[in-house]
C-alpha cells in the first residue's frame, strides 16, 4: 500500500477548562510530556514501577520484560498474583461497603451491590465451579446477558485460574460451537433467557443447539442462571442451575495464585476473513493495562460514578467493566437493556438518576440517539457528568460536537479512545486534564505507548499522509498469542514486512501537524480512486456533516476508468426517501461531498436505507456493503448482523 491521501480538514480544538486541569491526576501538557519522556528514557522501569505501584503481588517479579522470544513477549514473568484478588479482596479493608455495581435491568429495576457482597458472590460461585471439577487452565465459555452475574462468572474464573472466553449473547449456535471447539471448553455458563428492549432473548436454547452440533463434545457441564421465569430444557447430569450450584458453598475462596504470564482469558474476534481468532491475554500485563489506563484516560477519582455501556461480550466490557473499574475500586453502573427502550431518553434518564460522572459509549449509539431525539438530553439533569468517552470506531466531528455540547454541556472533555481487542487497553486517547481534544481525532498515545504511522517499508510517513498504524515497542497488555495458532499470531500482527518488529494494528491513520492521530479506517477498507488512496472515514464524515444525514458508510466498487468508484450508503435523519425525492437528495449529497472535500471523493452511487448493516458491537459491515455495491449476491455469513432486513433496502438502486 502506498500512503493514503488525507482529505479531512478539522481544525477545532478544545482544551480542558482550568478547573478540570487543576483537579486532574495528570494535570496539563507538562505532566503528560514528563510521563512520555520518562517512558522514552527508561522504558522498562517506567512499566516496572507502574506494575509495582498498581498491582498487589503475592510474590514480586524480578524482571520486567523478556523479549528473547519476540514477538512472544513476557512481562513480569516470575511475579505471582491473582486478578480477582486485585479486583476484590484488596479493597475489603477500606471499601467493603462501597458500592461496586449499580445494576439497572431492562425493566428499570435497580440493584446495588457492595464490594463485600460482590466478593462473597464471586467466592461462592468460584467454589461452585470447583465442585464441577473446574481447575486452573481449564476453559470456560460465558454466554450471559449483561448483568452482575456475568461479572461474577468472569471474576470467579479468574479467581480459580480458569480461562474465560466470553461469547456475546447475540451470537448464533454455530458461532458458540466454533468458540467452544477452538477453546476446548469444559463448562458453559449461561442464563435461561436475557431481557433486552422489553423482549425475552433465548440463551439456554442456543447453547443446547450449539452442544448438539459436532465439535462441542468437550463440554461437560452447563451452568444456567435463572434470569426470567421461563423454564429451560434440561439434560440431566450435564445441566445445573446457578442457584443450586452455589447452595451451601462457602463464602470465601482462596484465590489460585497465578504466574504473571498465565492466560487470564481468551476473547474471539472475527476479522474480515478466516475463522475467528482467539485473542489470548495474560494475567498481569493485561490487568496493569486495564487498571492504569482506566485511571489515566477517565481521570478516575474515588467518588466518581462511572458507566460504560459496552456488553461484557466485547473487549470494552472486559477492560472497562469487569477488570479496570473493579481493580480501581470504582463504583460503576451496568445496564442490561438497549439505549432506545422504553424510549430514546433511557441513557440520559439513567445518567440523571444514578448521577453518572464518567460516561463511555460508542459513536454508533450516539448517532442513533441524535437521529431519535437530538434535543432529548436537554430534558434531563446531566450536570453530574464530567468526562465523556467514545470507543469502537471513528466518531465523525458532527456527532462529536453534539456529544460535547448537548450531552456534556460544553464542560466535559471527550476521550476518544483508540484501541483493540488485541491491545487489551486504550492506546491512543487524550488524558482529559492534559491533552486538548479535536473532534474526530483520538489525539496522542498514552505515555509508554510508542505508536507511529509508517509506509510499507516501515518508514515514518510525513504529517498529513496516511499509512499503517503500528506500535513500535511491546507493552504489557498486548495480546500474547492467538489461541492454538502462534504462526497466525506472528503473521498477522508482527509481519515480516517490518522485520517482525512492529505490532501492526490493521488500521490506517494519519497525523496532523501537531502530531495528533486520525484513524482513517481498517486497511482493508481503503479506496483507490484514480490513484488517490482514500480512507472511508473522511468521506463518511463529510456526508454526516450534511444536515439531512444521520449516518453514512462508504465503500468502493470497481470502475473502468477510476479504478474504484465511491459508493455511499446513507441513512437520513428523516424518513427513507423514495423515487424522485431520493434522486434529488442523492444529487444534493454528491454536490455536497464535492464541495466539502473535492470531486475526487464524490460518490458515483448513493443508496438509502433506514439503517446500516452492523455487527452486534455496532461496527459497520463494510464487506457486505462492498458486495451490495458490486451487485453481487450475498454469500457471506450474516449471523452476526444486528438487522438483516435492511439489506434489501440497500440493494435497491435509485
Ligand atoms: C475497543 C474495540 C478494534 C477496531 C480498531 C479500529 C476501531 C476502535 C476506535 C476505532 C477509530 C476509535 N476493539 N476503533 N476504537 N477507530 N477511533 N476511537 O473496539 O477489537 O472490537 O475493534 O475498532 O478499527 O482496529 S475491537
Report whether pLDDT(5) > 80: no
Rounded CA-CA distance 64/48 in Å is 6
pTM score, two decimals? 0.91
Higher per-residue confidence, 486 vs 175: 486
Per-residue pLDDT tens over the stretch 72-98: 999 999 999 999 999 999 999 999 999
What is the average pLDDT across 325-350? 97
Specify if 494 maps to a domain. Answer: no
Rounded to 5 degrees, what angle do the CA atoms 565, 569, 575 make?
145
Q: Which residue in the block uniquely carries the three cell numbers 468458540?
A: 179
Smallest CA-to-CA distance from 498 within 49, 54, 1, 121 is with 1
pLDDT at position 273 is 61
The whole-number average pLDDT for the span 246-257 is 98
Report whether 199 belongs to an annotated binding site: yes
Q: How many CA atoms lie within 13 A of 248 on its CB side?
A: 3
pLDDT of residue 645: 79
Nearest CA to ligand 1 atom 8: 392
The answer to whether residue 347 scores a pLDDT higher than 80 is: yes
Phi, psi of 144 (to 5 degrees): -125, 155
Q: Is 484 domain-assigned?
A: no
With H, G, I as helix, E, B as strand and everything else as coil, classify residue 296: helix
Tell me whether residue 477 is in a domain.
no
Question: Does the beta carbon of 227 sit less than 6 angstroms from any atom of ligand 1?
Answer: no
Atom of ligand 1 nearest to the CA of 416: 18
In the chain, the number of structural domains is 2
Alpha-carbon span 509 to 469, nearest angstrom:
6
Predicted confidence (pLDDT) per residue in 362-389, tens digit: 998 999 899 899 999 999 999 999 999 9
Q: In the predicted model, what is the mean pLDDT of the chain?
A: 94
| 4: pLDDT strictly greater than 90 | no
How high is the pLDDT of residue 2?
46
Write out pLDDT tens, residues 519-551: 988 887 878 887 777 778 888 988 999 999 999
* Final residue before a domain boundary, out of 188, 221, 256: 256
CA atoms within 13 A on the CB side of 85: 18
601 in a structural domain: yes
DSSP structure string for 147-195: SHHHHHHHHHHHHHT-EEEE--TT--HHHHHHHHHHHT-SEEEEESEEE
- For residue 546, being part of any structural domain is answered with yes
Domain boundary among 239, 256, 273: 256
Question: In the prediction, which pLDDT does 623 show?
Answer: 85
What CATH number does residue 123 fall under? 3.40.50.980
Quick one: pLDDT band at residue 268, thresholds 50, 70, 90? very high
Task: Say which residue, 623 or 458, is predicted with more confidence.
Answer: 458
Choose one of 224, 256, 288: the last residue of a domain: 256
Give residue 128's domain range. Answer: 115-256
| 536 within a domain of the structure (yes/no) | yes
Residue closest via CA to ligand 1's atom 12 equals 418
507 lines ligand 1 (CB under 6 A): yes
CATH number of the domain encompassing residue 632: 3.30.300.30
200 inside domain = yes
pLDDT at 157: 99
Within-domain flag for 14: no
From the number of C-beta atoms within 10 Å of its C-beta (0-12, 13-18, 19+), residue 396 rates as: buried
Say whether 418 counts as a known binding-site residue: yes
Ligand 1 close to Cβ of residue 398 (< 6 A): no
- Minimal-distance CA residue to ligand 1 atom 5: 420
Amino acid at each position: 500500500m502506498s500512503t493514503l491521501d488525507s482529505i479531512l480538514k478539522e481544525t477545532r480544538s478544545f482544551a480542558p477548562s482550568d478547573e478540570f486541569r487543576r483537579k486532574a491526576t495528570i494535570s496539563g501538557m507538562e505532566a503528560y510530556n514528563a510521563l512520555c519522556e520518562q517512558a522514552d528514557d527508561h522504558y522498562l522501569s517506567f512499566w516496572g514501577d507502574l506494575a509495582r505501584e498498581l498491582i498487589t503481588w503475592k510474590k514480586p517479579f524480578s524482571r520486567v520484560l523478556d523479549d528473547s522470544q519476540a514477538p512472544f513477549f513476557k512481562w513480569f514473568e516470575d511475579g505471582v498474583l491473582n486478578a480477582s484478588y486485585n479486583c476484590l479482596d484488596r479493597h475489603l479493608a477500606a471499601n467493603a461497603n462501597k458500592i461496586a455495581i449499580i445494576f439497572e435491568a431492562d425493566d428499570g429495576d435497580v440493584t446495588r451491590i457492595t464490594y463485600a457482597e460482590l466478593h462473597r458472590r464471586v467466592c461462592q460461585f468460584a467454589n461452585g465451579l470447583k465442585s464441577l471439577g473446574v481447575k486452573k487452565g481449564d476453559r470456560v465459555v460465558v454466554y450471559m446477558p449483561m448483568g452482575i452475574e456475568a461479572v461474577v462468572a468472569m471474576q470467579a474464573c479468574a479467581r480459580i485460574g480458569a480461562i474465560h472466553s466470553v461469547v456475546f449473547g447475540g451470537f448464533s449456535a454455530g458461532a458458540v460451537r466454533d468458540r467452544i471447539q477452538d477453546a476446548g471448553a469444559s463448562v458453559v455458563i449461561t442464563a435461561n433467557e436475557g431481557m433486552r428492549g422489553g423482549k425475552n432473548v433465548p440463551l439456554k436454547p442456543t447453547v443446547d443447539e450449539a452442544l448438539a452440533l459436532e465439535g462441542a463434545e468437550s463440554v461437560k457441564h452447563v451452568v444456567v442462571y435463572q434470569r426470567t421465569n421461563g423454564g429451560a430444557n434440561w439434560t440431566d447430569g450435564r445441566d445445573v442451575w446457578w442457584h443450586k450450584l452455589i447452595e451451601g458453598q462457602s463464602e470465601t475462596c482462596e484465590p489460585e495464585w497465578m504466574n504473571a504470564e498465565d492466560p487470564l482469558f481468551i476473547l474471539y474476534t472475527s476479522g474480515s476473513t478466516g475463522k475467528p481468532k482467539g485473542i489470548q491475554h495474560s494475567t498481569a500485563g493485561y490487568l496493569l493495562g486495564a487498571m492504569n489506563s482506566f485511571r489515566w484516560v477517565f481521570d478516575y477519582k474515588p467518588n466518581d460514578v462511572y458507566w460504560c455501556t459496552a456488553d461484557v461480550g466485547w473487549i470494552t466490557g472486559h477492560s472497562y467493566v469487569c477488570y479496570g473499574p473493579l481493580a480501581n475500586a470504582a463504583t460503576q453502573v451496568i445496564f442490561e437493556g438497549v439505549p432506545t427502550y422504553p424510549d430514546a431518553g433511557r441513557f440520559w434518564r439513567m445518567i440523571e438518576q444514578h448521577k453518572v460522572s464518567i460516561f463511555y459509549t460508542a459513536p454508533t449509539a450516539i448517532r442513533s440517539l441524535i437521529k431519535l431525539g437530538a434535543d432529548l438530553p436537554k430534558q434531563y439533569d446531566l450536570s453530574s457528568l464530567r468526562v465523556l468517552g467514545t470507543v469502537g470506531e471513528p466518531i465523525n466531528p458532527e456527532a462529536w460536537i453534539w456529544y460535547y455540547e448537548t450531552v456534556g454541556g460544553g464542560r466535559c472533555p471527550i476521550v476518544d479512545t483508540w484501541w483493540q481487542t488485541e491491545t487489551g487497553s486504550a492506546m491512543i486517547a487524550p488524558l482529559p486534564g492534559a491533552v486538548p481534544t479535536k473532534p474526530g481525532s483520538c489525539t496522542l498515545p498514552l505515555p509508554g505507548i510508542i505508536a507511529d504511522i509508517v509506509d510499507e517499508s516501515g518508514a515514518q510517513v510525513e504529517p498529513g499522509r496516511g499509512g499503517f498504524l503500528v506500535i513500535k515497542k511491546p507493552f504489557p497488555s498486548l495480546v500474547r498469542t492467538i489461541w492454538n495458532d502462534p504462526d497466525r499470531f506472528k503473521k498477522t500482527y508482527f509481519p515480516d514486512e517490518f522485520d517482525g518488529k512492529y505490532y501492526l494494528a490493521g488500521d490506517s491513520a494519519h497525523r496532523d501537524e501537531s502530531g495528533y492521530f486520525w484513524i482513517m479506517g481498517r486497511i482493508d477498507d481503503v479506496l483507490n480512486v484514480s490513484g488517490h488512496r482514500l480512507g472511508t472515514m473522511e468521506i463518511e464524515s463529510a456526508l454526516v456533516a450534511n444536515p439531512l444525514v444521520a449516518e453514512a458508510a462508504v465503500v468502493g466498487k470497481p470502475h473502468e476508468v477510476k479504478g474504484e468508484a465511491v459508493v455511499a450508503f446513507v441513512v437520513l435523519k428523516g424518513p427513507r426517501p423514495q423515487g424522485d425525492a431520493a434522486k434529488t437528495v442523492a444529487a444534493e449529497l454528491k454536490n455536497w461531498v464535492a464541495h466539502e472535500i473535492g470531486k475526487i471523493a464524490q460518490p458515483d452511487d448513493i443508496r438509502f436505507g433506514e439503517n446500516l448493516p452492523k455487527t452486534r458491537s455496532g461496527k459497520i459491515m463494510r464487506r457486505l456493503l462492498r458486495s451490495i455495491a458490486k451487485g453481487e449476491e450475498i454469500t457471506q455469513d450474516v449471523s452476526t448482523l444486528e438487522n438483516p432486513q435492511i439489506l434489501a433496502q440497500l440493494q435497491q438502486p435509485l
